[in-house]
Chains A and B, each alone.
Chain A
């Protein structure tokens, strides 16, 4: 069975401080991993995915297969980063079953 764990329900950081949102997964095959973000009163939207290895809004995430992790990082937090962040996993090659973590609320303190 596939599983995604986000250990922190709430992460509070000061503006300008580094941010790391943790995501660990459990899956026996090759996973596709994603980070989705939900700003207040808005729909979920894709932030980034591991296959594209891109940086979006200053965020990056590296897939570490040895540690089965996909942590989301940003060197300097901005107030507009305050949102709910979800890590998600699906089997490589399709979306047969997408599993989301329970989410981490990021609060950036001015």
Chain B
């Protein structure tokens, strides 16, 4: 089944403890991206990647890192999480060509205390 898989679905951590949220797609998509969803703010793009080893900042990249060493994987790294990063995170992928729809993962609900 074609899908985008995120792990974990729920994560509770403490301020400053490094964490990684994984994202994997099995559709051979070139484009992958991360979003955070907050009430009243909708979805905001954190980082995106056009292909392996090609990444760029979205609208809210501060406090996040990404890497794209393989086409299928695009992990989101929080080196030193803070409470303002408590949010619902979505990974998405697409073929990247104009008009290609985004395929979303199920989301990761992160709480930083």
Contacts and interface: CB of A to CB of B under 8 A. Distances in A.
Contacts, number: 72
A34 B56 contact: no
A9 B99 CA distance: 26
A97 B48 contact: yes
Interface bracket on B: 20 to 34
Contact of B104 (A34, A44, A90, A92): A44
A45 B43 CA distance: 13
B100 to A, nearest CB: 7
Contacts of A101: 42
Nearest to B57: A97
Contacts of A52: 99
Interface of B: 31, 33, 35, 40-45, 48, 50, 56, 58-59, 90, 92, 94, 96-102, 104-107
10 contacts: A43-B106, A44-B90, A46-B102, A49-B101, A92-B99, A94-B97, A94-B98, A95-B50, A96-B50, A98-B33
Given A43-B104, A97-B58, 17 more contacts: A9-B40, A32-B98, A34-B101, A43-B90, A88-B43, A88-B102, A90-B98, A91-B98, A92-B99, A93-B98, A94-B50, A94-B98, A95-B33, A98-B45, A98-B48, A99-B59, A102-B40
Minimum-distance CB pairs A-B, first 10: A102-B42, A46-B101, A100-B43, A93-B98, A44-B104, A51-B99, A43-B104, A103-B42, A95-B31, A100-B42
